Amino acid sequence: MKAVYTWAFILAIIVFGSAGDVLQAYSMKRVGDLGELRKRHGFFAMLARIFQTPTFFIGIGAMALGFFSLLLALSWADVSLVAPASASLTFMANAFAARVFLKEKVDVRRWIAAACVAAGVALMAI
Amino acid sequence: MNFRRWMILAGVALFSSAGDTVLSAGMKQVGEISLANLFSVFHAVTNPYVLLGIVLLLGFFSCYLTALSWADLTYVLPATSMGYCLVAVFGKIFLHEQVTPLRWLGVFFIAAGVGFVAQSPHNTTHEHTTDEALPADEVRS
C-alpha cells in the first residue's frame, strides 16, 4: 500500500510540475520577448504585462502543488527513489505536453535530448 | 540566437546550480527541520546562505521566464540542464561532496542531451511578436 501512495505522489509531482512548466511557457509566449518588451516599453510595463496574464499565476499554483506533492512523497519514500523518478519522468512528460498543448515541433533530436537528460538526471540522483 | 540569449540560458543554469548549492550549504548549517515543526523553516530564512540562495533562485526564475518568452520549453529545459552538471562540480569543489562514477556518467548523458538540443532551432511555434503583445498606448516607464 505504501508503494501505491509513493507512486501516486510521484505521479502528482510529474503532473503538477509539467502543468506548471507548460503554463509558464504558454504565458511567456503570450507576453512576448521580455528583453524586447523591457527595451521598448520599460521594466514596469513588462512586469504589468506578465501580471495581467492569468495563466502565469495558475502556473505558479501548479508549481506550488508540485512542490507540496514532493514534500508528501518524501515523507512516504526515500529521496533516492522520489528525486530521480520524478525529475527524469517530468522531462519526458514536458516533451509530450509541449508537443500536445504548446504545439512545439518535438522532432527525434529533441526526444533523444529529453531522454538523455532524463537518464542523466536519474543517474545523478541515485 | 544572439549572445544575449546564450547568456540568459547560461544564467538559468548558473543561477539554479549556484542557488541550490548555497541553499544546501545554508540548510546544513540550519540543521534538520522535522515535519512536526514545519514553521521552523521560516527561521531558516535568517541564515545568510539561505537568504543568498533565495536571491540566486529569484535570478534563476527571471532568466527562466525570459528564456521561455522566446524559446520552446523543449529547448529551454534540456539546454539549461547543464545546471545539474554544475551542481555536481560545485558540490565537489565547495562542499567537498563525494561524486561517484555513476554521477559522472549522469553528467555525460546530460551533456550529450544538451549537445543534441543545441543543434535544433530554439523556437518552432512562432506564436507571438512583441508589438502584438503590448498595447500601443503603453508608455515607457
Q: What digits encode the pLDDT tens for the residues A76-98?
A: 777 777 877 888 888 889 999 99
A116 at interface of B, judged by CB pairs closer than 8 A: yes
Closest alpha carbon to A33 in B2, B58, B137, B139: B2
The confidence band for B135, taking pLDDT boundaries of 50, 70 and 90, is very low
Please write the tens of the pLDDT for every residue from A16-71.
Answer: 999 999 999 999 999 999 988 998 999 999 999 999 999 999 999 999 998 888 87
8 A C-beta contact, residue B21 and residue B94 = yes
Q: Is the pLDDT of residue B132 over 50?
A: no
**B125 vs A27, A45, A106, B96, B136, CA distance in Å?**
14, 25, 11, 43, 24
Contact B69 A94 (CB under 8 A): no
Which pTM was predicted?
A: 0.81
Please list, in sequence order, all residues whose beta carbon lies within 8 angstroms of the beta carbon of residue B28, skipping any fewer than 6 positions away: none
Question: If you measure CA to CA, which chain B residue comes closest to A91?
Answer: B77
- CA neighbours closer than 13 Å in the CB half-sphere of residue A73: 25
Return the DSSP state at B139: P
**B91 vs A84, A124, B28, B85, CA distance in Å?**
18, 12, 13, 10
Interfacial A residues in 35-94 facing B (CB < 8 Å): 35-37, 40-45, 49-50, 75, 91, 94
Where helices occur in chain A by DSSP H, the ranges are 2-31, 34-41, 43-51, 54-76, 79-101, 108-125
Q: Which three cell numbers stand for residue B61?
A: 526564475
A25 at interface of B, judged by CB pairs closer than 8 A: yes
Please write the tens of the pLDDT for every residue from B19-71.
Answer: 888 887 887 787 766 666 667 777 778 889 989 988 998 999 999 999 999 99
Interface predicted TM-score (ipTM)? 0.86
Contact A45 B140 (CB under 8 A): yes
Backbone dihedral angles phi then psi of residue B129, each to the nearest 5 degrees: -130, 155
Backbone dihedral angles phi then psi of residue A73, each to the nearest 5 degrees: -60, -40
Q: Which three cell numbers stand for residue B53?
A: 540562495
More confident residue, A81 or A118: A118
Contact B66 A42 (CB under 8 A): no
- Most A CBs within 10 Å, among B63, B64, B73, to test the A interface: B73
Which residues in B lie closer than 8 A to residue A24 (C-beta atoms)?
A: 64-65, 68
